[in-house]
A and B are shown apart, each in its own frame.
Chain A
Amino acid sequence: MPPSRAARRLSLLFAVLAAASARAQSDGGTDETIEVRGEKPGGSPQAPGAAAATVEVARFSGEVRSAAELLSTSPGATVHETGAPGQSASLSLRGANAEESLILLDGIPLQGPGGGSIDLSTIPAALLDRMVVSRGVLGAQLGAGALGGAVELLPRRPTARPAGGAQASFGSFGTAQVEGDFAAGGALLGVQLDRTAGDFDYAARVPPESPNWYGFTRQNSDAQRASALFHLEEGLGADTGLDLLLQATAGDRGLPGPATSTTLRSRASDEGGVAGARLRGSAGTVAWAVRAWGRADRVELRGLQLTTDCTDGAPDCPRSEQHSATARAEGEIAASLGDRQLLRMIVSGGEEWIAGGPTGPHRRTLGSIALSDDVALPQSIGLHPALRVDRVGSDTAVSPGITATVHPIGPLEFRAGWGLAFRPASFAELYLDEGGVAPNPDLSPERAWSADAGAVWRSARLTLAADVFWSRYQELILYQLYPPFRIKPYNTGAARIAGLELQIVSTLPFGFTAEAVYTFLDAVNLRTGLEGHHLVYRPPHQLFGRLARRGDRLEGYAALAFRSAMPRDAFDSAHLPAQPRLDAGAGVRAAGPLWIDVEVKNLLDDRTQQDLFEYPLPGLSLAVIARARL
C-alpha cells in the first residue's frame, strides 16, 4: 500500500505549525488559515479536491496587469470590463453571476457596495502574491455565496530578511502605475498608486445599423486609485503565532456611461479597508486558530440621475453616499483521528451593517458552523466531505459538499465533486432604493447545486487539466421591470449551466513557458417562458494562450485572448461580437536588478471592441515598465 496521503498532509500540517515561529523569520509566511499544505499544488487548501487554478502574480512581472486581466487567464473565469483601466470590472466563474462568486482576501470575504459583487478594479493586483481560483458550488468549503466558485487573493508575504521591490509603468491614455513594497522582520508594507486619463479612441457604428465606423474619444473615463497593504507575521512562541493584515484602498473615477448614452458629469469615489488579526497555535495533534476581522467601505456617486447625468450640487442632483461594514470573529480547530483522517471545525459569528441614503440603515447577524473531513482511503483515494450551516439575517441554510480524488499512477489525478449552496440576497438587492432601482425586502436566497469531474496530469514540465461540470441554479435574483420606470429584484430565475475547462502548461527549453486555457460554457435559461434560450453575456467559447520567456537578461511574452460572440438579450437575438486580443511585451535587465520592459496591449488595434452594456474598450496601448526587486 502506498503511504497515506492524509498522513503526509498531517505531517506537513504539524510540521508547519511546530515551525510557526521559525517560519515567520524565513521567507515563508502563513496562509489564510489552518491548512493542509503541499498536497494540492494549484488548489485551495480550503477546498481540497475542487477544480482550481493558481495565478502567480510574479509570473506577470514586467507587465501591467489588473486583477481582472490576471483572473481572465484562469479556466472557467469570464471577466467583463467596462472600459479603460480603473473602470469597473466583474468576474463570472463557471457562468455564475458576479454576485455568485466569492472573492476573499486572505480568507476575508470582500464585498462591493451594498454587499454585492466586488469591483475587480478596486483590487491592487501588484500587492498580491497569487490568486487561487476554485470552481464549483463550494458553499460548504468556502461559505455562503460561492455558487460559481471563489477567488482567494493571497497578499504579498513578509520576509525576515530585508527585501523589497518597486515597479513603475507609464503608458497610453495617461495611464501610470507605481508600486513599491518593503519587507523586514516579518512585516511587509506595500503601496500601489494608479491613474489614467482614460481618454482612449474607439470606433462605433453610428447609427448601429449602418456599415460605417466612426472614431470617438472616450470622455469622463479617468480614474485614480491609491492602495496600501501591511502584513505582519509574528511568532509568539514555539507553537503560536500572530498574523496581522491591513489593506486599504481609495479611488475616484469618472462614470462615462455606455457609448450610446454617455454621462459626462457622473463620478464615483470609494474608500474601503480590511483588517484582520489571527492567533494560531497547536497542542499535540490539535491545531487551532482564532481570528477577528472587519471590513468597511464607503461609496459616493455624484452627478447621476434616473437615466442620465446631472450637475453635481444642483438641487435635483443630490449625491448618493453609502457605507457598509462587516465585523466577524471565528475560531478554528483541526484534529487528526489516526493517520488517515483530519477533522476540522470552524465556528464564526458577526454582524454586517449598511447605511446611507440609497438603502437606509440596516444590519444583520452572521453566523456559521463548518465541518470538514479529510479522509485517506486505500488505493490512493481521498475523500473530502464538508458541511456548513450559515445564518445570514433571518435566512438559514445548509450547504453540503464532497470531493474525491484518486491517484492511479504517478502524477495523474482524477477528481470529482458535488456541492449544494446558497447565496443570501445582498443589502443592495434588499434595500437599495435609488434612481431606477427599487428594493425588495422579501427576497429569499438563491440556491444552486453542481457536480463536476476532472483529471489532472501534473509533472515538473507539464500540467494538463480537464474538467467538466453541470450546475443547476434556482430562485435566481433577477431585476425585472417595475412599472413605470424602475427595475426591482425578484427570485424569478432558473438556469442550467454546463461546461468544459481545459488547461495545459508546459515548461519548454531556453526559459520558455507555454500555456493554453480553453473554456466552454453552455448556459441555458430555465426561467418559464425563456426555456432554452441562453443566458446573456456568457461566451460559449473562451481561449487564452500565452508563450513567455523568463531569463537572466531577456524576457518577453505574447498572449492571445479570444472570446466568442455571446448573447446580449434574453432571446438570443442580439449578440456581442467575438473578440480576439493580442498582447505582447519584451524586456531586458538593464543594470543590476533593474528591468526595463515595453508592453503592447491589443496589438491589432481593434477599436471596435465592447463589453457589457456597450461600453467600448481601448484599442492599442503601449506601456513602458521599469522594475527592480532586491
Chain B
Amino acid sequence: MKRTAFALALALALAACGGKYKAPPPQKNIALPPGSQLKPYDPAHPGNANPQGLTQVGDQVYATISNQYFDAAAKTVVNAGPGFLAGIVPSTGKLTLIDLGGSDEKQCQNPGFVRDSNGLLYAPCSGNFTGADGSRALVEVDPATAKVTRRAAIPDGRVPNGVAPGPTKIWMGDAFSLQVFSVDRASFVADPAANALTLDCPQSPQNGFSYVADVLILYGDLYALCASDIAGTLFRFDAATGALKGKVDVGPTPSEMSQTFDGRVAVINSGDNTLSLVTISGAKMTADNKALTFPDGTSILQDVRARDNFLFTVASGSNSAQKIDLTAKGGPKIVAAASFGDGANPYNIFPLDDDQAIVTNRQTNSIAAAQWVVVP
C-alpha cells in the first residue's frame, strides 16, 4: 500500500541525512471497540470489529472495521452494523472511529481493503457478499475531517475486493468472479459494466474457485492479481483504457501484492506458501515463483507490504508475521518473525519503519505491534 507523500518526503530527507526513518514505537496492543460501540443494528446482536485493511496518512494508520458476527442459525456471517475506519496513532493508541454508514448506516457494510491516494482514503465495501445488496460501495474518506466525502454504489453482480486508485479511474476486483471494474474518479460513478475487464485465470474445471485477489496502480499501469484453487496470474493493463499489456503466472492462490524498493512486484501465494517476485522490463514481465518458500509452519499468507529493501508479510493461519530481506546473500530471506498469539488471525500488516510493523488481528479485534524474533 502506498505511503503518504509526507512519509515519503520525511523518509527521503532522513535517508539523505544518512539515517533511516525511525517511527515512534507503537503500542504493543491496541484493542478495538467492542461491537456494542459500533452502532449495531440490533443491540442484542452486536458484531466484532474484525479489522482487516491498513494504510497510513500522516501520523495515523487507518484500519477497516468489518463489524460482523457469525449467525449460527443462518449459518452465515452477518453485517452487524455499518463499516468503519479506525484512525489510530500507533505510538499512543489514540483511536478515532469514522462511520462509513451514512445517514441510514447502511451505505457501506463490510469494508475490507483501504488504500490512500492524494491524501484521501478509498475503501471498497463488500456488503453481505451476495452481490445484490445496497451496502456495496466505494467510499472516499477525507482523513482530515474524518468524514465520507463521496460514495459510489457498486452495480449488482459485483462484490468489490481490493482497490487501486488511478489517475482517472479507481479500480476494484471482484471477490467472486474474475472481473475488474472501475469507478470514474471525477464523477465518482461506476463505469458501465461493458468497461469491466475479465481476467483469464486457470482454475479446476469442476467447481474450482477463482476471484480477483488484489489490484494495484504501479508506474501508471493497473496490475490485477487473479487467484484460483490451482493457479495465480498477474495481469497488467493500461490504467486509463483497460487495454491488456501483459501477464505472467505467479504461484497458486496469491493473496496480495506490493511494489518492492527495486521496482519489482512482490506477490505472496497462499496456495504453496511462496513468494513470487515479478520483474517488469518494458513490455515484458517475468516471475521468479520460488523466490522464497516460507517455512513449513507458516500458513495462510494474507498480506505483503514493502519498505526499503524489506518485505513484511503476515500469515493468518500461523498467527505470524515475517520480515524478509530482499538483499540477503543468496536471495530473499526471512530475517525476523513475530507471533501474535494463538487464534489472533492477523490479516494485514503495515511497516512503520524498517524495524517496526503493526498488524490487524481479525479474530482478537486488535491492532498489535510485531515483537520480532531474529531468524538466523
Contact = CB atoms under 8 A, between A and B. Distances in A.
B75 A308 contact: no
Indicate the member of B77, B231, B319, B342 with the most A CB atoms within 10 Å.
B342
B203 interface: yes
B373 A212 contact: yes
Contacts of B347: none
B334 A209 contact: yes
Contact of A305 (B72, B274, B342): B72
B70 A480 contact: no
A568 B72 contact: no
A205 interface: yes
A433 B76 CA distance: 11
Contacts, number: 131
Indicate the member of A259, A315, A528, A573 with the most B CB atoms within 10 Å.
A573
Interface string A463-490: 0000000000000000011111100001
Contacts of A260: 299, 317-319, 342-343
Contacts of B342: 259-262
B75 A435 contact: yes
A608 to B, nearest CB: 11
Interface string B1-21: 000000000000000000000
A527 interface: yes
B237 interface: no
Interface stretch (B133-141, B204-212, B259-267): B204-212
Given A211-B375, A260-B317, A260-B343, A527 B322 contact: no
A205 B373 CA distance: 11
B60 interface: no
B146 interface: no
Contacts of B337: 207-210
Contacts of B297: 205, 207-209, 614
A13 to B, nearest CB: 48
Contact of A209 (B70, B73, B209, B320): B320
Interface in A551-588: 568-577
Indicate the member of A306, A484, A575 with the most B CB atoms within 10 Å.
A484
Interface residues of B, number: 54
Contact of B204 (A207, A212, A529, A568): A529
B159 to A, nearest CB: 8
B331 interface: no
Contact of A490 (B176, B207, B296, B318): B207
A576 B273 CA distance: 14
A530 interface: yes
B346 to A, nearest CB: 10
B191 interface: no
A570 B271 contact: yes
Interface in B200-230: 202-209, 211, 229-230
A575 B295 CA distance: 9
Contacts of B45: 316
A441 interface: no
Nearest to B211: A483
Interface of A: 205-212, 259-262, 305-308, 315-318, 433-435, 480-485, 490-492, 527-530, 568-577, 614
5 contacts: A207-B337, A261-B342, A480-B229, A483-B211, A614-B297
Given A210-B373, A260-B317, 4 more contacts: A207-B318, A262-B342, A305-B72, A492-B206
